[in-house]
Structure formats: C-alpha cells, structure tokens
Amino acid sequence: MKAVENNASNSARPFSEEKILKECRHYFSSETARTAEIAERFMEYFIRNASSEGVLFKTIKEITHDLNISHQTLTKVLKRLEEEEIIYRRNGIIGLWQE
C-alpha cells in the first residue's frame, strides 16, 4: 500500500526525480567526488522536502544543518544548479525549473 501511495504522490509532482538526479550527476561529474556527492544529497533532500509544485521552503541554514554540510559547499552547489537552470532562488525559496 505504501508503494501505491508514493507513486500517487510522485505522479502529482511536475518533475521526474530520476531525470533530475541524472542531470545533477551529469553536471557535477567534472567536480570533486565530494562536491558531486553533496550535490546529489541536496537534490535527494530537495525531492523529499519540496512541495508538490517543486518549491522548497527552507533556509540555507536549515539545509546545511539537516545535511550536515558547510554553508560554502552548499552555496557552490546551489550556484551551479542555478547556472544549469535546474533550480532558481527567489525571496527565500528554492524552486525547480519546470521540465
């Protein structure tokens, strides 16, 4: 029953988790292994905690605490994801560009 519930909630999302993680891995493949791992951890965190519209309402401080990573590293990851138009940051939210 749990799998059915997860599929139902995932199908309502305007994004494909697999596609996002694949793109993330691709964009960070030229980075250090640590940065690539943090980028993937962030995207998994984003997918788990984002609203059904693809918006994350968490501060950088909350994210760094939850993931136990440095502010500097998270900022580097977020900037790269913005450059590649995977996410956008506006007024304290992190949103996912629609596919």
**CATH number of domain containing 68:** 1.10.10.10
> Does residue 29 lie in a domain region?
yes
> Does residue 84 lie in a domain region?
yes
> Does residue 57 lie in a domain region?
yes
> Does residue 7 lie in a domain region?
no
> Does residue 71 lie in a domain region?
yes
Assess whether pLDDT exceeds 90 at residue 92.
no
Q: Which of 39, 59, 43, 36 is nearest to 96 (CA)?
A: 43
Alpha carbon of residue 40 to chain centroid: 8
Quote the domain boundaries for residue 63.
Answer: 17-96
The whole-number pLDDT of residue 2 equals 36
- Residue 75, beta-bridge partner list: none
| Mean pLDDT estimate for the chain | 84
Q: What is the pLDDT of residues 19-49, one digit of tens each?
A: 888 988 999 999 999 999 999 999 999 999 9
Look at the alpha carbons of 18, 25, 64, 93 in this order and tell me if their dihedral is positive or negative: negative
Helices (H), ranges, 1-99: 2-11, 17-27, 33-49, 60-67, 71-83
DSSP state of 13: S
Assess whether pLDDT exceeds 80 at residue 13.
no
The whole-number pLDDT of residue 1 equals 36
Q: In total, how many domains does the chain have?
A: 1
